Structure 1
């Protein structure tokens, strides 16, 4: 499998570059870019696994989520520059839904088929639950409700204030987990895994592979985004569906693959840190940062989602909290989360 991924990257990246200059058909470019992103995801997964062994599941998962979300941030900035605020907000919604329902669901399901009962750090799960409620239920819902009685400028000012607070809280949360309380809530399972395993790659090699893979994924993903309009027209996909489902899945493909690899290897702490940690990073850092970046562009982006997007995200948060708060998972919980994602996907397709 590793050799197949290597060949796919070796062939896929040059073909993507050639196709972008020679203006190949959008359908062909969509297939080439999508397969290349999946192959690059395999390398990011191996790098994450090595880092998680060397540096612990929190830092390993955080690095994977950060590099994965860097791709989405790049795509979103290009979309903002083009004035596609609706697509950016929809892709942020899709990222939250994809991580909480699809990635968590597939991780629980695939891991649960191999292991009847999988455990992860219950303290981290409860800590993340509070932040999820703050990020989505508080910080995303309030701008929507308050904006009903506000002017466009007042709504933007409220969004800027909320964005700054969210970024500061996110950074404080990282300081809490990685500095002041690092090691305080480590479980016996984490300690045992760290003692038993040897990393495939050294820390330096893993970080280099992660950085290079991320740069390649960013380039390929940008080319992939340009194919969405033509592919959407051919298959009858709406702009909202493309933003919520397609852009979100492609933009987060790398971390999705990494989380699934970790779950199948019974490394649920890393899988959960990637899925939930990525959601928190999107909601509390990427989305607010995009609001602030949009101030330097022609089209400004207030932190105001549509009602269907908000309802879907709030529902996903509470469902994810319900199944992760006990620190255990199984395949049935996974299939429940996947079912919720499919229901929402059908809704956004038909909307």
Structure 2
């Protein structure tokens, strides 16, 4: 797997640059840019993990929270600057659906095939469930209802207010779990006592992280310029492009890590990647994009379409039901995957 990501990054960067110079068909270049971003995102994840091991568990948790969705955030910033606000909101929806249904589903399925029952920290599951209910069911649904009853300016003002509240609560949640109550709710190791060793030195990890981030930003700017051509070529709507395609591209490396950890019976880490990433999207990434849009010509209020809202609410409720007991199996994974397949098909036909 590491060799595949290396090839994607080392071949994709020069190929993407050459294709842009020689104006190769944008549909083909979309594929090149997307695969390159996946490869670079994998290196961002590996560098972050190495830094986390060097720095310690608490700082490592903060680093993972910060860089977990970096690739998707960078893509969204360029898309927002280009005026694709509907694609940005759709990609945020897709990130939530992908993490809660697709990644959790595959993780539970793969881990459950290897081991009949797998457990994870039920205290974390309850904490995450509450954060998801607030960040998505409450903070996303109400602005949509409010926007239909008032002016665009007032809807944007409410969106900014909600964004600030969500960011404050997200940061408070990090402090709660990593500092004030770190020892109150200890994790479960699922029977694994292996000592982690960093893949790279601290200096090399920072250098790789910086280089990969620059590469993702460079490829993301080119990827955004191909959106219209790709949509016309494949007959994809902006909604499907954002909810399914862009969301998977932005999180592919992270998804692979979560599934691999579940296979190794490290379900705590796997669930934290999948569910924790959804919480970060809802309570940090989306608010940051709302605030950043104030600096651009295209303001982005926190107003999702009704299909997006319904899909996210259903994903949150189903994931809470499945994870609340801190115990899972392959059939629960199959249920989550079935839900994702149903929603993805629906978005394709919209």
TM-score normalised over the length of structure 1: 0.91
- 1:300–1:2 distance in 2 versus 1, CA, 3 Å: closer
Give the match for residue 93 of structure 1. Answer: 93
Within the alignment, does 1:29 sit opposite 2:29 as a pair?
Answer: yes
Q: For 1:59 and 1:121, how far apart are their aligned partners in 2?
A: 20
The aligned residue for residue 321 of structure 1 is 320
Q: CA deviation at 1:269?
A: 1.4
The residue aligned with 1:182 is 182
1:340 alignment partner in structure 2: 339
Distance in 2 (CA, whole Å) between partners of 1:270 and 1:58 is: 14
Alignment of 1:166 onto 2:142: no
Q: For each residue in 1:50-71, what CA deviation from the matched residue of structure 2 results, as whole angstroms up to 9, or x when unmatched?
A: 4566667776565345324222
Aligned pairs for 1:247-286 within 5 A? 247-286=246-285
Choose 68-77 or 83-92, whichever is displaced more: 68-77
Is the CA contact (8 Å cut-off) linking 1:99 and 1:276 kept in structure 2? yes
Q: Distance in 2 between matches of 1:269 and 1:208?
A: 29
Q: CA RMSD in A?
A: 2.4
Shift of the 185–51 alpha-carbon distance from structure 1 to 2, 3 Å rule, reads farther
Cα separation, 1, equivalents of 2:227 and 2:101: 23
Report the alpha carbon displacement of residue 18 of structure 1 after superposing the two structures with TM.
1.9
Q: Judging changes above 3 Å, is the alpha-carbon distance between structure 1 residues 346 and 3 closer, same or farther for their aligned structure 2 residues?
A: closer
Matched residue pairs, number?
Answer: 350
CA distance in 2, matches of 1:331, 1:57: 30
> Contact (CA 8 Å) 1:68, 1:254: kept in 2 or not?
no
1:216 aligns with 2:215: yes
- Aligned-partner Cα distance in 1 for 2:56–2:109: 24
| Counterpart position of 1:306 | 305
Cross-structure match for 2:102? 102
The worse-fitting range, judged by mean Cα deviation, of 9-18 and 34-43 is: 34-43
Q: How far apart are residue 139 of structure 1 and its match?
A: 0.4
Matches within 5 A, 1:16-165: 16-47=16-47, 50=50, 60=60, 63-165=63-165
State the secondary structure of the residue aligned to 2:189: helix
What is the Cα deviation at residue 145 of structure 1?
Answer: 1.5
Runs of 4+ in 1 over 6 A off after TM superposition: 55-58
1:143, 1:158 within 8 Å by CA — same for their partners in 2?
yes
What secondary structure does 2:230 align onto?
A: helix
TM-score normalized with structure 2 length: 0.91
Q: CA offsets, 1:210-261, max 9 Å, x none?
A: 4433332333233233333222212111111111111111122232222122
Q: Distance in 2 between matches of 1:178 and 1:22?
A: 49
Distance in 2 of aligned mates of 1:151 and 1:229: 29
Alpha-carbon deviations, 1:177-200, whole Å to 9, x = none? 11111132113427x645544444
Q: Which residue of 1 aligns with 2:236?
A: 237
CA distance in 2, matches of 1:124, 1:82: 38
SS of the residue 1:183 aligns to: coil
| Gapped regions of structure 1 (runs ≥ 5) | none
1:247 alignment partner, SS class: helix
Question: In structure 2, the residue corresponding to 1:189 is in which secondary structure?
Answer: coil
- Inter-CA distance 109–41: structure 2 relative to 1 (3 Å threshold): farther
Secondary structure at 1:252 match in 2? helix
Q: Distance in 2 between matches of 1:56 and 1:116?
A: 32
Which range is displaced more, 20-29 or 153-162? 20-29
- The answer (yes or no) to whether the contact 2:89–2:304 under 8 Å persists in 1 is yes
Which segments of 5 or more consecutive residues in structure 2 lack a partner in the other structure? none
Residues 321-350 of structure 1, C-alpha deviation per residue, up to 9 Å, x if partnerless? Answer: 111111122221111111111111111111
Q: Is the 8 A contact 2:293 2:300 kept in 1?
A: yes
Residues in 1 aligned to 2:49 and 2:267: alpha-carbon distance in whole angstroms? 12
